[in-house]
Amino acid sequence: MIENFGRTQSGDTVQRVILTNGNLTAHVLNYGGILQDLRLAGYAPSLVLGFDNVFAYETAGGFIGATVGRLANRIANGHLSIEGKEFQLDHNFRGRHTLHGGQAGTGKQIWDIVEFHTDSVIFALVLPDGHMGFPGRMQIELKWQFKSDDALSAQLRARTDAPTVCNLALHSYFNLTGRSDMHGHKLRVNANQYLAVDKDLIPTGELLSVNETDFDFRLPTPLPFNQAMDYNFCLSAARQPIRAVAWLSAEKAGLTLELSTTEPGLQIYDGANLSSGVKGLNGHVYGPCSGLALEAQLWPDAPHHPHFPSALLLPAELYFQQTEFKIIRKSN
């Protein structure tokens, strides 16, 4: 089903697409490619943070549910150098860096709906050359699809007509209990290392071991975290065939979210800077740490670190990412 969801402040119509297949129902928006709602049959709470109006998505911050890019995460000083050419990007993070593709990145755009079925939808977006300072006209396709009764897949493809950078990420916040915080959850991540960052959360280039640190999630670890969390965990040195990399579980709810991806990195953000007192789905009031963002992507600030997996995209190449969210319900 496709229905009108509302209008942006600039007057653009936003549409909501309802997908269903067996146990799961997903609501996705053509504004920002947003995963607005994800429900499991017979279980009342939404499994993701979301809003029931466009205005909240435009003003609440936090990129809740959005598909962010063209270059997800942070770029130091909003500066790129590609094949000897210098590019100055939009400064939308702390007045001097670029975050999630700039203030009008993919997560703030109206995407076209190009194909729809009851269990899948394809969105398309064109970013013009120079958009937010990035070179190259980029064509992006996002396909949301139920792969089985308990798994929602997102496939992202992109092409460019000039050398550029591309790193797209799904920015959903998960909460499996319906609580206003993450108590009662455990997290497991298949990562031996994470990236060190400076005071502006920009990677220094150093890879740190998770051994004997608060960042060791190789075994299920209770939430909330012992300290603020907004770090990239290094899953591999390059893209891989899709594989399971992270598990978020809520024992009392009897649910586990299994995240599988092709990507070499997983940014884990605890939502500490989410706005307080914002009304979300089912009347829930969100605030700091109301959900956990699990953002599969390349390693952040890759253009400034040659030893990171490369974000360079050339005209002859196809960018491709696949990430899946599988909901596992414990048998009684």
What residues are labeled active site? 171, 295
Residue with tokens 């890879």: 207
Phi, psi of 290 (to 5 degrees): -75, -15
Quick check: 92 and 102 in contact, CB under 8 A?
yes
Cβ–Cβ under 8 Å, residues 193 and 203: no
- What is the C-alpha to C-alpha distance for residues 137 and 128, in angstroms, rounded to an integer? 5
Distance of CA 5 to the CA centre of its chain: 21
**Residue 226 CB neighbour total at 10 angstroms:** 11
Instruction: Measure the CA–CA gap between 292 and 210, rounded to whole angstroms.
Output: 19
Q: Which residues, other chains included, contact 154 with Cβ-Cβ below 8 Å and sequence gap of 6+?
A: 67, 142, 143, 144, 145, 170, 321, 322, 323, 324
